[in-house]
A and B are shown apart, each in its own frame.
Chain A
Amino acid sequence: KAGVTQTPRYLIKTRGQQVTLSCSPISGHRSVSWYQQTPGQGLQFLFEYFSETQRNKGNFPGRFSGRQFSNSRSEMNVSTLELGDSALYLCASSLDWALTQYFGPGTRLLVL
């Protein structure tokens, strides 16, 4: 089975721009979660989608949004980028939230 894939792997943006990240889950997985990872903060939960519905959301501003398509692929959008948004963004897929999550390689975003 192919693993979780994320595109792009690296991204450089400037403040004020917006960015869209993509995540393709493992075939058959309907739950996709997004995390932001920065040094010293660990993995911070952004949101989780299941069957095209956002089931859970973390404590991030409304600039962070996401969606999930009927094929379970998910996108995450960050608008009006700030310097502090520079991070590794990881998505993870699972059959359901309480089960094993499989992480993708991440998208490293640098905001200048």
Chain B
Amino acid sequence: QQPVQSPQAVILREGEDAVINCSSSKALYSVHWYRQKHGEAPVFLMILLKGGEQKGHEKISASFNEKKQQSSLYLTASQLSYSGTYFCGTGGSQGNLIFGKGTKLSVKP
């Protein structure tokens, strides 16, 4: 079952914050977040494992609510380089990643 991402698209001004949500109808063992810029391959951002801690970099962090089968990606003080399509990939017990349809983020000066 493909996870559902919301919103589908978001436009920000530099310095603004954004939250991208990812929810699944199945029990999750892991959530992976990737960013893909136009014409490029997806690039790994972070992985959250069941029972693990929230992970993040300086201004990009994520949470994983196992009970609700949801994950959220937080981007604070957005930069132009944050533009791209964000994908969440959910891992179940079967050992494969299923990706959502993506959230297109555009950061304007």
Contacts and interface: CB of A to CB of B under 8 A. Distances in A.
Interface of A: 33, 35, 40-45, 48, 55-56, 58, 90, 97-106
Interface centre among A40, A98, A101, A106 (most CB of B within 10 A): A98
Interface string B34-55: 1000001111100101000000
**Interface range for B:** 20 to 34
B44 A58 contact: no
Given A41-B101, A42-B87, A42-B102, A99 B96 contact: no
Given A42-B102, A98-B30, A98-B49, A105 B97 contact: no
Interface of B: 2, 29-30, 32, 34, 40-44, 47, 49, 87, 89, 91, 94-102
Given A56-B94, A97-B95, A97-B96, A43 B30 contact: no
A33 B102 contact: no
A87 B47 CA distance: 26
Contact of B41 (A55, A56, A90, A99): A90
Given A33-B96, A48-B96, 14 more contacts: A40-B101, A41-B101, A42-B2, A43-B99, A55-B95, A56-B94, A56-B95, A97-B95, A97-B97, A98-B91, A98-B95, A101-B44, A103-B43, A105-B40
